[in-house]
Structure 1
Amino acid sequence: MEYLVWVAVAVLLVLLLAVVTGASRLRRLSRRVGSFPCSARADGIPHASWSVGIAHYSVGRIEWWRCWSLSPRPARTWYRDRLTVTGRAPLDLAGQPDQYLVRCRYDGVDFELTMSSGAYAGLASWLESAPPGRRDLVV
């Protein structure tokens, strides 16, 4: 019986460690300068689920992390010279005003992002500030 108690305590400690690590990672990512909340999903797949995440501007790229992950690496990386915004539309989400659905293409693969209007303005400005020769990044 005592053995089962120790196993239960060990399992609880591992779960607590995972929750604390995940919360610390999420806090660290969301507090970085250049970070913004951004959900992503594949385009063209009916009823595809959204993955909640945090995007961050880096030098020449955007890195995107899933919120509910312990991975130290971003789940996606989009380089500025290969990313194109193909459209945007306002979203009417209950409790979340001022959100946009942003359609993007990266290396011929279409996907969608949701973000605030301020985050979209930042994304459009970041893409438009690309080096000369790349003026077609925002439609």
Structure 2
Amino acid sequence: MGYVLGLLGAILLAVVLVGALGASRLRTLSRRVGSFPCSARPGTLPHASWSVGIAHYAVGRIEWWRCWSLSPRPTRTWYRDRLSITGRTPLDQAGQTDQYLVRCRYDGVDFELTMSSGAYAGLASWLEAAPPGRRDLVV
């Protein structure tokens, strides 16, 4: 009986520890300067599920971190010179005010992001501020 209680206590402690690490990681990511909430899904599958995440501007790239993960590395990294916006649609008609569906292409692969209008303005400005010769990044 004591062995079972000890095992259950160890499992409970592990669950609490993993939950605390996940919450700490999420808080740290969301409080970084240049971070914004951003969900992603493949663009080729219109009924694919969304992955909730946080995007963060880094030097010449955007790093995208999945919210429900303990990984110390970003799930996706998009470099500015290979990323383009191919379209956007306001999601007001879907009951999500101040949200955009943003269609993107990276190295010939299409994907979609959802973000606030402010985050979209920042993304479009960041892409348009690319070095000379790369002004075709925003439609």
TM (normalized to structure 2)?
A: 0.97
Of Structure 1 and Structure 2, which has the larger fraction of its residues in strand?
1
Q: Which runs of 5+ in 2 are unaligned?
A: none
How many residues are aligned here?
138
1:2 aligned residue = 2
1:23 aligned residue = 23
1:87 aligned residue = 87
Tell me how far apart the structure 1 counterparts of residues 46 and 124 of structure 2 sit (CA, whole Å). Answer: 27
What amino acid does structure 2 have at the position aligned with 1:41? R
SS in 2 for 1:5: helix
2:48 aligned residue = 48
Q: Residue by residue, what CA displacement relative to the aligned partner does 1:77-97 show, whole Å, maximum 9, x if unpaired?
A: 000000000000001344x41
2:134 aligned residue = 134
Tell me how far apart the structure 1 counterparts of residues 97 and 46 of structure 2 sit (CA, whole Å). Answer: 24
Q: Which runs of 4+ in 1 moved over 4 A?
A: none
Q: Which runs of 5+ in 1 are unaligned?
A: none
RMSD between aligned residues? 0.8
Q: Residue by residue, what CA displacement relative to the aligned partner does 1:41-88 show, whole Å, maximum 9, x if unpaired?
A: 001213100000000000000000000000000000000000000000
TM (normalized to structure 1)?
A: 0.97
Identity of aligned residues (%): 79
Q: Residue by residue, what CA displacement relative to the aligned partner does 1:3-50 show, whole Å, maximum 9, x if unpaired?
A: 000000000000000000000000000000000000000012131000
